[in-house]
Chains A and B, each alone.
Chain A
Amino acid sequence: NAGVTQTPKFQVLKTGQSMTLQCAQDMNHEYMSWYRQDPGMGLRLIHYSVGAGITDQGEVPNGYNVSRSTTEDFPLRLLSAAPSQTSVYFCASRYTGTSSSYEQYFGPGTRLTVT
């Protein structure tokens, strides 16, 4: 299994540009999520999905869109990039079900700089 994969690893955008961060997993996990990691702060949840066709907002959703058309893929879209979105982005996945204690698997991260 490749686990959770993310592309690109690095990206530089100009203010106002749009882009999509890709995330895919091959473990048949229902739950997928996007986090951002900023200096001096813990990881913060942007959006999450509990299955294909179902998405919901996390703590910091503004400026980001997601969709989940398949179980495997969960892309994150920045519609009009802003310097405040400079961060490291992590995609993660896990099983759902009756237990909320399933192990979380993280992708390698995407380092995004918005100038």
Chain B
Amino acid sequence: KNEVEQSPQNLTAQEGEFITINCSYSVGISALHWLQQHPGGGIVSLFMLSSGKKKHGRLIATINIQEKHSSLHITASHPRDSAVYICAVRSWGASGSRLTFGEGTQLTVNP
């Protein structure tokens, strides 16, 4: 079992829909990252959080440390939101701090 599991793997939505992507992890963490990878391949950081909730524009990220679960929500989705969304957790291992990535969720928003 992967340390970081994302669901769903693929998601297709109509423009304007509310979208939720989930991330569950099995290790103790110091932080959780949500990343966005566009079709061109570049990866950008959307959120870094260790508790509670953060909001940037139409994006909202929440984390429940006790349940080892995080969600990324997109309100009023738009075709330009089409991308792969990646969850990554920062934890401490034998060689220090490490980042473990989920496989990503491919989101397609149709007009």
Q: Residue B14 at the A interface, CB < 8 A?
A: no
* Interface mask (B43-80 → A, CB under 8 Å = 1, otherwise 0): 11100101000000000000000000000000000000
Closest A residue to B90 by CB, please name it: A100
Q: How far is the CB of A13 from chain B (nearest CB, A)?
A: 19
Q: Residue A74 at the B interface, CB < 8 A?
A: no
Q: Residue A90 at the B interface, CB < 8 A?
A: yes
> Secondary structure at chain B's binding surface: helix, strand, loop or mixed?
strand
**When A40-B103, A56-B95 are in contact, do A104 and B45 touch as well, CB less than 8 Å?**
yes
Q: How many A-B residue pairs have CB under 8 A?
A: 51
**When A41-B103, A42-B4 are in contact, do A106 and B90 touch as well, CB less than 8 Å?**
no
On chain B, the number of residues with a Cβ less than 8 Å from chain A's Cβ atoms is 28
A104 touches B99 (CB 8 A): yes
**When A90-B43, A101-B50, A108-B42 are in contact, do A42 and B86 touch as well, CB less than 8 Å?**
yes
Q: Residue A45 at the B interface, CB < 8 A?
A: yes
27 contacts between A and B (CB under 8 A): A42-B100, A42-B102, A42-B104, A43-B86, A43-B88, A43-B101, A45-B99, A56-B95, A90-B43, A100-B90, A100-B97, A101-B30, A101-B31, A101-B48, A101-B50, A101-B90, A103-B33, A103-B45, A104-B45, A104-B88, A106-B45, A108-B40, A108-B41, A108-B42, A109-B41, A109-B42, A111-B41
Apart from A56-B95, A106-B44, A109-B42: 15 A-B pairs, beta carbons within 8 A: A41-B103, A42-B4, A42-B102, A42-B104, A44-B101, A45-B98, A50-B96, A100-B90, A100-B92, A101-B50, A104-B33, A104-B45, A104-B88, A106-B35, A106-B42
B residues in contact (CB < 8 Å) with A:
2, 4, 30-31, 33, 35, 40-45, 48, 50, 86, 88, 90, 92, 95-104
